[in-house]
Amino acid sequence: MTRFQTYLKRHTEALVKDVGITAACELTGKLKATLGRYYSEDAEHIGRFMPVDALAALEAAASHPHVTAAPAELRGATFSLDQNDDNASGNVNSGVVQLSQRVA
């Protein structure tokens, strides 16, 4: 297993534990055993990772976006949440403009 795979699996486990296993099952529609496979480091589960829709549902309920932040951390980059999120007040256009400017 690569360092990146191990890191993602450990952050996936932290995410599930942050939300709580029972709540994680309800939010994702996955069984406890299935969620466990997503963060298992056993050889038979090396290539198994959580689907993006399940990840998004859990990170919305979690205290921190554990898995989303992991690749940034591995590269030595910082990951911060905008506490003054315009999208929280319904101003989606400003978010789209900001994203467009970053991509351009």
- Tens-place pLDDT, residues 41-78: 999 999 999 999 999 999 999 998 999 888 888 888 87
Per-residue pLDDT averaged across 84-102, rounded?
55
CA 41 to the chain's CA centroid: 18
Q: What pLDDT is recorded for position 102? A: 64
Rounded Cα gap, residues 86 and 76, in angstroms: 27
Taking the model in full, what pTM does it have? 0.74
Q: What percent of the chain has pLDDT over 90?
A: 59
Of 33, 27, 34, nearest in space to 53 by CA: 27
Rounded Cα gap, residues 31 and 101, in angstroms: 41
70: tokens are: 């992991």
39: tokens are: 């963060």
Q: What pLDDT is recorded for position 77? A: 83
36: tokens are: 């466990």
